[in-house]
């Protein structure tokens, strides 16, 4: 007899230590209409693989909730939308009851809530998926600051050791190896200037097509 396929939520809980806690936090928002509306105001933020931390903090402050609650919700929404094609919401809710994350009396409300989340944010995730099929798409960025030792060649007696502060950036896309490079403070300022200008152009474009 063919082995019965496990529902994705079992695989999620088995592979991710914080997933069950995230799901529990997310499900406390069942009647939080304001929360969904606030997230829906910036769908692209929700679909971003690494949302800006200052925006997450602003969302939490505006909703009078904790930053951790917003991060938990974003992680669960990400999982729901990425797995929407493989999810049967009724089965998902039944499994969540089994895990004691949903009370049987709240089954219908939970089903409606999860379906609304997928309907609200799914299109933004689909757009990002389509974009990644056209060209490599941003996934995340890491940075570290360091001092580079320069000079100090004492073998010939004419070198003095000095240090140059640099920032090392590691930028990940949705495929392939990360792009790693170092830059100085003026380099960062130029990048910030370029990114700010690009952001303004994007905002102008969005207003024109709205």
Number of domains in the chain: 2
Q: What's the pTM? A: 0.76
pLDDT digits (tens, 9 = 90+) for 119-165: 999 999 898 888 888 888 888 899 999 998 887 665 555 567 888 99
| Distance from C-alpha of 6 to C-alpha of 158, rounded to nearest angstrom | 69
Please report the sign of the dihedral spanned by the C-alpha atoms of residue 36, residue 38, residue 40, residue 44: negative
Are 19 and 119 members of one domain?
Answer: yes
Are 160 and 106 members of one domain?
Answer: no
Does 198 reside within a domain? yes
Does 1 reside within a domain? no
Mean pLDDT for the chain overall: 86
Given 134, 167, 182, the domain boundary residue is 134
For residue 151, give the 3-state DSSP assignment.
Answer: coil
DSSP 152: -
pLDDT value at residue 119: 94
Are 82 and 146 members of one domain?
Answer: no
Residues near 116 by Cβ (< 8 Å), separated by ≥ 6?
A: 36
pLDDT value at residue 142: 92
Are 130 and 163 members of one domain?
Answer: no
Are 125 and 145 members of one domain?
Answer: no
Are 124 and 152 members of one domain?
Answer: no
Reference 171, options 144, 203, 202; nearest CA is 144
**Domain of 23, in residue numbers:** 8-134
| Distance from C-alpha of 190 to C-alpha of 85, rounded to nearest angstrom | 42
Does 170 reside within a domain? yes
Residues near 143 by Cβ (< 8 Å), separated by ≥ 6?
A: 167, 168, 169, 170
Q: Which of residues 81 and 44 earns the better pLDDT score?
A: 81
């Amino acid at each position: 007899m063919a082995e019965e396929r496990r529902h994705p939520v079992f695989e999620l809980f088995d592979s991710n230590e914080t997933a069950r806690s995230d799901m529990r936090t997310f499900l406390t928002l069942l009647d939080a209409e304001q929360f969904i509306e606030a997230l829906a105001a910036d769908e692209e933020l929700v679909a971003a693989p690494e949302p800006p931390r200052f925006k997450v903090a602003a969302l939490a402050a505006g909703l009078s909730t904790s930053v951790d609650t917003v991060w938990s919700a974003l992680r669960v929404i990400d999982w729901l939308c990425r797995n929407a094609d493989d999810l049967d919401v009724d089965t998902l809710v039944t499994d969540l009851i089994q895990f004691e994350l949903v009370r049987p009396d709240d089954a219908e409300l939970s089903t409606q809530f999860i379906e609304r989340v997928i309907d609200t944010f799914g299109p933004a995730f689909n757009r990002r998926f389509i974009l990644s099929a056209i060209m490599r798409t941003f996934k995340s960025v890491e940075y570290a600051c360091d001092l580079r030792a320069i000079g100090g060649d004492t073998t010939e007696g004419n070198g003095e050791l000095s240090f140059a502060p640099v920032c090392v950036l590691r930028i990940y896309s949705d495929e392939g190896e990360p792009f790693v490079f170092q830059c100085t403070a003026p380099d960062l300022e130029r990048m910030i200037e370029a990114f700010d200008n690009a952001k303004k152009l994007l905002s102008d474009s969005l207003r024109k097509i709205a």
